């Protein structure tokens, strides 16, 4: 890595003191800059479904191992009933998951971000940019392996907090950067 050329300090600043003994360049985020506030719907990555299938598959395998240990080693056959119910519910959820993932979407508008989810019970939430207090990106180990992230927007009102799962890493970073930039400009008018 080549050292960054020194930046001349503005008159009256103490840049040489602040930069003494530090790294030569900051590592910049991978965000690709501001996104257009065009009002068109965007969907999540299909890799989210694959990630959820793997995570739920691991969960089902864990339940089967627990049931085998308790059922065979401790001779408690009743354990298959609750574990069977949980596995059945998980499998039904996995069957519905691809359709649910297609129903997730978000739209960047001039004054707010709109998030939609749900097939039968649909929920559409509009979060004004000026009310956002925190924009957070979360990734678990399997999410990183599949290249997906979850973006969370927090506002003062508990009911308008929004989580957008299944965003690609670059899309999540670009969306985060855009939301922070637009939220800062909208908050100044409050």
What helix, strand, coil percent values describe the chain, rounded to 5?
Answer: 45, 20, 30
Give every CB contact of residue 96 below 8 A, 6+ residues apart in sequence. 119
167-182 burial by CB neighbour count: b if 16+ within 10 A, else e?
bbbebbbbbbbbbeeb
pTM to 2 decimal places: 0.71
The Cα–Cα gap between 101 and 82 comes to: 28
**pLDDT of 182:** 86
Higher pLDDT, 176 or 37: 176
* pLDDT over 70 at 103, yes or no: yes
Better-scored residue on pLDDT, 117 or 77: 117
What's CA 84's distance to the chain center, in Å?
31
Instruction: Give the torsion through C-alpha atoms of 41, 159, 55, 106, to 10 deg.
Output: 10
Q: Which residue has the higher pLDDT, 57 or 119?
A: 57
Tokens of 8: 């001349």
CATH number of 41-187: 2.30.29
Q: Note the pLDDT tens digit of each residue in 11-38.
A: 555 455 555 555 555 444 454 455 667 7
Q: Which tokens hold the place of 28? A: 């910049």
Q: Classify residue 39 by its DSSP letter.
A: -
pLDDT of residue 127: 86
Question: How would residue 112 be classed by pLDDT, with cut points 50, 70 and 90?
Answer: confident
Average pLDDT over residues 135-145: 91
58-74 confidence digits (pLDDT tens): 999 999 998 888 888 88
Q: Which residues in the chain belong to E strands, given as ranges?
A: 41-43, 105-108, 112-117, 123-128, 132-138, 148-155, 162-168
């Amino acid at each position: 890595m080549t050292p960054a050329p020194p930046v001349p300090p503005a008159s009256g600043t103490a840049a040489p003191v602040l930069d003494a003994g530090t790294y030569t360049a900051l590592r910049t985020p991978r965000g690709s800059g501001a996104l257009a506030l065009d009002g068109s719907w965007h969907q999540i990555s299909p890799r989210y479904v694959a990630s959820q299938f793997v995570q739920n598959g691991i969960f089902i395998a864990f339940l089967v191992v627990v049931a085998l240990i308790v059922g065979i080693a401790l001779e408690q056959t009743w354990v298959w009933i609750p574990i069977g119910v949980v596995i059945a519910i998980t499998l039904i959820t996995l069957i519905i998951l691809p359709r649910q993932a297609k129903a997730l979407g978000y739209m960047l508008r001039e004054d707010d971000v709109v998030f939609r989810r749900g097939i039968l019970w649909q929920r559409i939430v509009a979060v004004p940019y000026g009310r956002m207090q925190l924009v957070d990106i979360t990734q678990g180990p399997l999410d990183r392996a599949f290249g997906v992230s979850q973006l969370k927007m927090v506002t003062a009102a508990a009911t308008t907090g929004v989580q957008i799962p299944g965003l690609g890493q670059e899309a999540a970073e670009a969306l985060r950067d855009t939301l922070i930039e637009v939220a800062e400009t909208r908050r100044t008018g409050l």
